[in-house]
Amino acid sequence: MTEFTPVASFLGGTMIGLAAVLLMAVHGRIAGMTGILTGLLPPLAADWAWRAAFIVGAIGAPALIVALAGRSAIAFESSMPALWLVAGGLLVGFGVHFASGCTSGHGVCGLARLSPRSMAATVTFMAATAATVFFVRHVLGGL
Amino acid sequence: MARIALALLAGLVFGAGIAVSGMINPAKVLNFFDLAGSWDPSLAFVMGGALIVTAIGYRVVLQRPKPLLDETFHLPTARRIDLPLVSGAAVFGIGWGITGFCPGGAVPALGLGQPRALIFVTSMLAGIALARFLRGGLAGRARSRTA
């Protein structure tokens, strides 16, 4: 069980939105984790510097929160075996590349622009995720 | 320099938002999708908050002729809902459903020093690189067929 946190979740969501608006206002870029990361893989994109800075910030913020407020400030629970993390990671990487985006790029930035491609992608990955969770938890009985 | 500093700021706000919202927690993500079990609807509030701010913010920002520190808005130009988009999204969803990690949640989780996040992100980057390599090969073959 995880606690229902509507206020913190809404607040965190508005921060994600704020970051997306800032990146569009200043750099003219979609705040999609897939697209930003892809430009940092070889062959390195010419505009790698702002991408690297965004990633450093994205990793740095939770590290800062934990440093200031303690480890218990941010809940993180996973008991996933490494083998499944590798398999899931490969599937996610493969999928988001062909889909040209993930939850941040399609689910937030794309939906906010009312992009039909992003709507199709978001409906598809949300449904596939829900079906997978159902299968893993209620058919297989967990991993 | 301002470009780098402001991208860093955007990344910090993004990472803090992922952490505060609970998107950083694989268990919370999986519970959001577990309608038949231990359902936690929190992530609907994450999406709601993010969408309200982004939709309004984009409306204002995209009326400007160009961004503050670039010559043009780099918006996606593809329009077609095609097989790579839909099948890619489905494969992504399977991986997300197995692990509870999506790219935007897993990268900030690295900042918590979580070994599981590191294993996931490394595998995900390998998946992106492999897909890129394969797509390059497929596109190359398609070009040589039409040539």
The 10s digit of each residue's pLDDT in B2-33 is 999 999 999 999 999 999 999 999 999 999 99
Residue B136: pLDDT band with limits 50, 70, 90: confident
Measure in Å the smallest separation between the Cα of B137 and chain A Cα atoms.
Answer: 14
Candidate from B11, B26, B76 with C-beta closest to A55: B11
Q: Which chain B positions have a beta carbon within 8 Å of A39's beta carbon?
A: none
Q: Which chain B positions have a beta carbon within 8 Å of A46's beta carbon?
A: none
The secondary structure of chain A as a DSSP string is -----HHHHHHHHHHHHHHHHHHHHHH-----HHHHHHTTSSSPPTTHHHHHHHHHHHHHHHHHHHHHH-GGGS-------HHHHHHHHHHHHHHHHHHT--IIIIIIIIHHTT-HHHHHHHHHHHHHHHHHHHIIIIIS---
In A64-83, the residues whose Cβ lies within 8 Å of chain B are 64-66, 74-78, 80, 82
Residue B147: pLDDT band with limits 50, 70, 90: very low
The 10s digit of each residue's pLDDT in B41-54 is 999 999 999 999 99
Contact between B112 and A76 using a beta-carbon 8 Å cutoff: yes
Which residue in A89, A10, A104 sits closest to A55, CA to CA? A104
Statement: residue A143 has pLDDT above 90 = no
Cα four-point dihedral sign A28, B51, A11, A97? negative
Quote the CA–CA distance of B23 and B108 in Å, as a whole number: 10
pLDDT given for residue B141 in this prediction: 59
The 10s digit of each residue's pLDDT in A41-83 is 998 999 999 999 999 999 999 999 999 999 999 999 999 999 9
pLDDT given for residue B146 in this prediction: 46
Candidate from B28, B61, B72 with C-beta closest to A21: B61
Which residue in B86, B37, B106 sits closest to A76, CA to CA? B106
